[in-house]
Amino acid sequence: MFLSVFDIFKIGVGPSSSHTMGPMTAAARFLDDLRGGAEKIPGAGTLTRLGASLHGSLAFTGKGHGTDRAVILGLIGYLPASLDPDAAEELETEVRRIKRISPPGLGTLDFDPESDLVFDFGPPLPGHANGLVLSAFDERGNPYMTQTYYSVGGGFVVTEAELETEKAAKTKTLHAEKEAMGYPYPFGSAAEMLEMGRASGKSIAEMKRANECAHQNIQPRELSGQITRICDVMNAVIDRGLRIDGILPGGLSVKRRAKAMHEQLLAERGNNRSQPHVANDWLSVYAMAVNEENAAGGRVVTSPTNGAAGVVPSVVRYYRDHCIGATDAGVETMMLTASAIGGLIKHRASISGAECGCQAEVGSASAMGAAGLCAALGGTNEQIENAAEIALEHHLGMTCDPAAGLVQVPCIERNGLGAIKAVSAASLALRGDGTHFMPLDNCIETMRQTGEDMNTKYKETSLGGLAVNLPEC
């Protein structure tokens, strides 16, 4: 399965790619299905009302992640990339007041979030921990159309049928599946990626660039412009997070810290008494700035998810502002390399916290950041693969246990530590020759197996871990 750079890095809104962006996208897709009429139940009358039910992790942590708001906005007709985050609350309030929506091309339909949007706390749907069922009804209350969607992490959404097709595809021979795609370098594993690199003499970034240009039928210069736009949004998110303070929404009274930390770091610049580990503080403040914006429902870029959106932008900013010899070409190399690693992890395991815990979110992001930085600093393909493996290996087993279902505690600080691990992993790999004991493919498979074995209460349900061991004061 080919995953574009822009599948991995998508512009959207917080606080969650799987719980906010995914459900919003699913709702918008449902509107398209209704307009097309392909799945209309035979004999149904006139379309008059919509409904939705949230299941599994979407139900248990949906309130904290704003899943109900996301569904409402999606049914109005908004998508994550086009939504103005500042207008979201007002739009939601209006729907709750009038109990109707008017999606483009469908007229005015009844939709009362209090009764038509159900949080189902029973067993999850069979396909995935993040399931939602969207329904339409005629004037007699009979079903008009029903569709089940799964939000599988990183803002990716599939229908029940698409999920089954995707699972079946993974059982095929990967080489045969990729050859049919016709990409210049159709690697489906890290081992194939390294083999193709040796045979072609190309770097991972060069192979990814060739695949991306073939996928979009564009020239490298146009691709560079698209990547620059994504990087500009990442930097803007960091800058906004560094400017704003106050208390994050949600009821935990978590204080934004990035602005004050940044001011302290700026004041210490040029001070010859600064500790050498101050580089870690810069990495942390960049990452925390992003994730504070995400927690506030602001605009972010999935990297590869919202919950892990601070890691790769932090490492990119660190390279650009702190590393000797940094260039625009180096940033593009980072993004292409990181997306190649992220695509492998998603295809062979998961980037979903509800599926595999936070190892799949911050762990994947850290591996992507490590690979990207290693590449930008001149690492060989073997060193890059080693960097990604080191970073992922040392996140294995990490649970997803957000307090009160909010992407705040421990998520914000966890992104800072993920960025630090990414830089450390890249540095370790660059000190070696690329040979190492555990291949990246095996590490990815270990993460998948660990996620399968992990108790559900540690996978984004807020039923275990830090989420249930809160301060009692």
Q: Could you list the residue range(s) of the whole structural domain that residue 179 is in?
A: 171-468
Is the domain of 101 the same as that of 233?
no
Q: What's the structural domain count of the chain? A: 2
Closest CA to 384 of 422, 426, 438, 424: 426
Taking the chain, what is the end-to-end CA distance rounded to the nearest angstrom?
49
**What pLDDT does 165 receive?**
86
The confidence band for 170, taking pLDDT boundaries of 50, 70 and 90, is low
Predicted confidence (pLDDT) per residue in 382-428, tens digit: 999 999 999 999 999 999 999 999 999 999 999 999 999 999 999 99
Does a structural domain hold residue 10?
A: no
Does a structural domain hold residue 1?
A: no
pTM for the whole thing? 0.93
**What pLDDT does 1 receive?**
63
Task: Tell me the pLDDT of the chain averaged across its residues.
Answer: 94
Domain boundary among 161, 182, 201: 161
Residue 12 in tokens: 């959207």
Does a structural domain hold residue 9?
A: no
Does a structural domain hold residue 5?
A: no
The confidence band for 271, taking pLDDT boundaries of 50, 70 and 90, is confident
Does a structural domain hold residue 71?
A: yes
Domain boundary among 161, 181, 202: 161
Predicted confidence (pLDDT) per residue in 86-145, tens digit: 899 999 999 999 999 999 999 999 999 999 999 999 999 999 999 999 999 999 999 999
**What pLDDT does 31 receive?**
96
By mean pLDDT, which of 171-185, 217-231, 417-431 is the weakest? 171-185
Closest CA to 210 of 184, 182, 178, 175: 184
Is the domain of 120 the same as that of 181?
no
Is the domain of 357 the same as that of 395?
yes
Q: What is the DSSP string of 116-161?
A: HEEEE-SSPPSS-SEEEEEEEEETTS-EEEEEEEEEEETTEEEEHH
**What pLDDT does 367 receive?**
98
- What is the CATH classification number for the domain harbouring 113? 3.30.1330.90
Name the percent of the chain lying above pLDDT 70.
97
Q: What is the DSSP string of 361-394?
A: THHHHHHHHHHHHHHHTT--HHHHHHHHHHHHHT
**What pLDDT does 471 receive?**
78
The confidence band for 274, taking pLDDT boundaries of 50, 70 and 90, is confident
Is the domain of 146 the same as that of 258?
no
- Which distant-in-sequence residues (6+ apart) come within 8 Å of 117 by Cβ? 51, 52, 53, 54, 68, 71, 72
> Does the pLDDT at position 68 exceed 90?
yes
For residues 29 and 146, give the distance between their C-alpha atoms in angstroms, rounded to a whole number: 12
**What pLDDT does 179 receive?**
47
Q: Return the higher-pLDDT residue of 101 and 174.
A: 101
Q: What residues form DSSP beta bridges with 145?
A: 136
Is the domain of 145 the same as that of 269?
no
Q: How far is CA 387 from CA 29, 302, 353, 356, 377, in A?
A: 38, 21, 22, 21, 12
Is the domain of 225 the same as that of 137?
no
Does a structural domain hold residue 11?
A: no
> Does the pLDDT at position 463 exceed 80?
yes
**What pLDDT does 472 receive?**
64
Is the domain of 438 the same as that of 394?
yes
Is the domain of 186 the same as that of 265?
yes
Is the domain of 196 the same as that of 301?
yes
Predicted confidence (pLDDT) per residue in 185-199, tens digit: 999 999 999 999 999
**What pLDDT does 174 receive?**
44
Does a structural domain hold residue 6?
A: no
The confidence band for 176, taking pLDDT boundaries of 50, 70 and 90, is very low
Is the domain of 332 the same as that of 375?
yes
**What pLDDT does 397 receive?**
98
Is the domain of 456 the same as that of 429?
yes
> Does the pLDDT at position 177 exceed 70?
no
Name the percent of the chain lying above pLDDT 90.
91
Tokens 């249930």 belong to 468
**What pLDDT does 2 receive?**
85
Is the domain of 154 the same as that of 181?
no
Domain boundary among 115, 133, 161: 161
By mean pLDDT, which of 139-143, 206-210, 266-270 is the weakest? 266-270
The confidence band for 473, taking pLDDT boundaries of 50, 70 and 90, is very low
Does a structural domain hold residue 283?
A: yes
